[in-house]
Each structure stands twice: as C-alpha cells, then as structure tokens.
Amino acid sequence: MIGSGILVMNKPQGFTSFDVIGKLRGILKMKRLGHTGTLDPMATGVLPVLIGTAARACDILPDETKAYRAAFQLGTVTDTQDSSGRVLETHPFDVSEEALRAVLPQFLGEIQQIPPMYSAVQVGGKRLYELAREGKEIERPARTVTVSELTLEAYDRASGRGTLAIDCGKGTYVRTILHDIGGVLGCGCMMTALERTKACGFTLADAHSFDEVQQAADAGVPESLVIPTDRLFLSLPAVTLNETQTRLYRNGVLLALSRLRALPEGTRFRIYSAEQSFLGLADADRAHNCLRIYKNL
C-alpha cells in the first residue's frame, strides 16, 4: 500500500492536470490525490502530485515559483494566445535578435498581466474559458505577477521562431507574456509549445512517466517513486520532539516553547517525532509561549 508523499509526474501533451490525477487513481488504486497547479493540455513537464495526507498541503506550499521553456512564433495572434486556438491576425515580421532581446526587460519583475479569456480564472462566478466558448469576451482586471527570469535561448529571424526560458511566480500565464511581447514588437506572437521544467522545487530529473509508474505498480513497489512530504517544506526550520512531547503533540496538546530545546528562530516549523517521522507544520505563538499545530501532514 502506497503511503503519503509526492509523486512528480512528467505530464504528457494532451492531458489536463485532472486527467493525470484520474489516470494515476487507476494505476495506484487510490483516490486521495491532488495536484499542485494546473497545466494546460498543450503543456508538458513537471506536475507534482500529492498523495494521501500530503494532499492537505495543496494550499500551503511555500515555494510556488515555476520555470518553463516556451516556444513561440512571431507574426500570428490567436484567441487562445497559443497555436491551439483560432487565428485572429497575421502580420509580417522582420525582428532582429537584438530588437527582441531589447523588449524582454519590460516583462521582468512585478508586472501587470491581463488573464487570457481561455483560462480558468473566475469573473462573476464563471470561468473565463466558459465565456470564451460561448463566443463572449469580457473586460478582465489586470493582475500583478512576478517574472524573475526571462532568457532568449534560441531565435531564428527568418522564421520568427524561438524559445524563451521563464522563471515566474504563481498565477503567471506564459502564453500571455509571449502575446504581450508580440504586441510590443507590433507583429503579434503565439506560443507553440510549453514545457514546465520546475515546480515546487522539483525538476524534470525528479519526474516520472505513466509507464514508469505503471511498471513500479506492477512490481508492487510504487512507493519507490514517492518523495517524502517534508521535502516541500525544507525552507522551514525543523524541530524534533522528545518522546513525551511527541505523544502530547499527537494528542493536540499545546507545547510550551520554553520546554523545547534549541528552538530555531522563526514562526513556522517542520515538526518531527522522536522517531524522526514528519508530523506536519506548527507555529510558534510567542505571546502565549506555546507551539500550535498549523497542519498535520
């Protein structure tokens, strides 16, 4: 029986994030699975899946930065901002590599981004893609997103095709960045491929295919692919309890901070039992001199 933890998947093209969960439920014969962030069907790459009690961590992940490799085509604008959509405009292009590199700094740091109509963002209780499929386009408020790296990895001036490496924060639409770059250049741009190379601190080197998961399940060792839940929270300081404290903590008793030896600086901690089992997260309430359970994992 597989326990709790993280199974990092290399999502294939054509699958939604929910499709991945559905297929894994069939392979692993378990229902309690959750993913850490939606990937469009066109996208491939890193999709961490939370198993068992680790699914409780979906909304408290401390590292929500992601990295992508995105391919693009200048000269074309579509309704989805990628090559899966309906072409709205085509324009001639003759953009030098220097001119392309020159506009990239405009999309670094904290930027304002209008979510695309074909997205899962909710406006007035309805998802934008539902409205888009009805042929509607509504005004969307711009949102602040963070782009920490934007690097041109390859570019061919004659074809207008190239590849960008992008590091960004939660809620960033990579295809919108490319669409907006095309707007600044005056020729339009659409995304033609997207691979997520990093998410929640995991990379493609950690990721597995469906075939690998199926083989491990057939061999009776699916847990060999599962990463311990606490790896999600390595940025937080660790506290190890003694046997008595472990028993009290598991029973929901507040522990006095003054009785915890060598308590690190900080307000939130990874908590381990006397047997070095990861128990979850807890907060230091210094005003009341106690350790409060934040989330059992």
Task: Give the number of domains in the chain.
Answer: 3
**Do 48 and 89 reside in the same domain of the chain?**
no
pLDDT for 136-189, tens place per residue? 777 778 899 999 999 999 999 999 999 999 999 988 999 999 999 999 999 999
**Do 191 and 257 reside in the same domain of the chain?**
no
**Do 190 and 274 reside in the same domain of the chain?**
no
For residue 109, what is the enclosing H or E element?
Answer: strand 109-113
Give yes or no for residue 242 having a pLDDT over 90. yes
**Do 147 and 205 reside in the same domain of the chain?**
no
Contact 150, 111 (CB under 8 A): no
**Shortest CA distance to 138 belongs to which of 149, 128, 148?**
128
CATH code assigned at 56: 3.30.2350.10
pLDDT for 74-96, tens place per residue? 999 999 999 999 999 999 999 99
Give yes or no for residue 124 having a pLDDT over 80. no
pLDDT recorded at residue 129? 72
The bridge status of strand 5-11 relative to strand 161-168 is: unpaired
Give yes or no for residue 197 having a pLDDT over 90. yes
The bridge status of strand 44-51 relative to strand 189-199 is: parallel
User: Looking at the DSSP assignment, which residues form a beta bridge with residue 133?
Assistant: none
**Do 75 and 156 reside in the same domain of the chain?**
yes
CA distances to 58, 104, 176, 270 from 195, in Å: 22, 20, 15, 31
**Do 159 and 175 reside in the same domain of the chain?**
yes
pLDDT recorded at residue 91? 97
CA distances to 82, 196, 275 from 181, in Å: 13, 20, 53
**Do 56 and 121 reside in the same domain of the chain?**
no
Residue range(s) defining the domain that contains residue 160: 66-198
pLDDT recorded at residue 93? 96
Give yes or no for residue 102 having a pLDDT over 90. yes
- Listed in sequence order, the residues at least 6 apart from 135 whose beta carbon sits closer than 8 Å to its beta carbon are none
User: Looking at the DSSP assignment, which residues form a beta bridge with residue 283?
Assistant: 268, 292
**Do 184 and 205 reside in the same domain of the chain?**
no
Contact 10, 46 (CB under 8 A): yes
**Do 55 and 89 reside in the same domain of the chain?**
no
Q: How far apart are CA 128 and CA 143, in angstroms?
A: 15
pLDDT recorded at residue 165? 98
> What amino acid positions are annotated as catalytic residues?
40
Structure confidence at residue 1 as a pLDDT band (50, 70, 90):
low
Residue 125 φ/ψ region, left for φ over 0, alpha for ψ in the -120 to 50 degree band, beta for the rest: left
CATH code assigned at 245: 2.30.130.10
**Do 50 and 85 reside in the same domain of the chain?**
no
Task: Please give the average per-residue pLDDT across 188-209, as a whole number.
Answer: 97
CA distances to 82, 157, 179, 194, 228 from 91, in Å: 15, 14, 13, 23, 50
pTM > 0.85: yes or no: yes
Give yes or no for residue 37 having a pLDDT over 90. no
**Shortest CA distance to 117 belongs to which of 149, 88, 147, 160?**
88
pLDDT recorded at residue 175? 94
Give the number of other CB atoms < 10 A from CB of residue 83.
17
Task: Please give the average per-residue pLDDT across 209-236, as a whole number.
Answer: 95
DSSP states of 243-282: HHHHHHHHTTPPEEGGGSTTPPSSSEEEEE-TT--EEEEE
Q: How far apart are CA 28 and CA 5, in angstroms?
A: 13
Indicate the residue type of 196. R
pLDDT recorded at residue 121? 74
pLDDT recorded at residue 139? 75
Residue 67 tokens, joined = 């990295």
